[in-house]
Copies of this chain bind each other. A is one copy, B any other.
């Protein structure tokens, strides 16, 4: 199939999965790390920074933007990308409410 049955799960479960999926690729992790490092929002710099072709980077940026993790602003003929704080904070606290209890078996 390859088709996730999202209608069978809660809205929260789907959201957690969606955000996790956006981070589930090393290139996208690298993009996030880079954006956090340089803070100011560059874009072609990301293409120069990562060992992937420009269309591939563009595609990853699109997925991160769709997930709401990054934002993009037009700046002249370039586009300035940066972390979208509220969503990024949500990711950091993804499993915050899930308190791990002491296991009694394993």
A84–B95 CA distance with the chains assembled, in angstroms: 14
**In the assembled complex, how far is the CB of residue A38 from the closest CB belonging to chain B, in whole angstroms?**
9
Copies in the complex: 2
Return the contact of A29 from the options B9, B73, B89 (Cβ within 8 A): B9
Return the contact of A26 from the options B4, B80, B104 (Cβ within 8 A): B4
Q: Determine if B101 and A36 form an interchain contact, defined as CB atoms under 8 angstroms apart.
A: yes
**In the assembled complex, how far is the CB of residue A46 from the closest CB belonging to chain B, in whole angstroms?**
14
Interface footprint category on A? 35 or more
Residues of B within 8 Å of A4, CB to CB, are 25-27
Residues of B within 8 Å of A17, CB to CB, are 23-26, 28-29
19 pairs, A vs B, C-beta closer than 8 Å: A5-B52, A8-B52, A13-B30, A13-B33, A14-B26, A18-B24, A20-B23, A20-B24, A36-B98, A39-B102, A40-B104, A40-B105, A41-B103, A41-B105, A71-B106, A81-B106, A82-B105, A82-B106, A83-B100
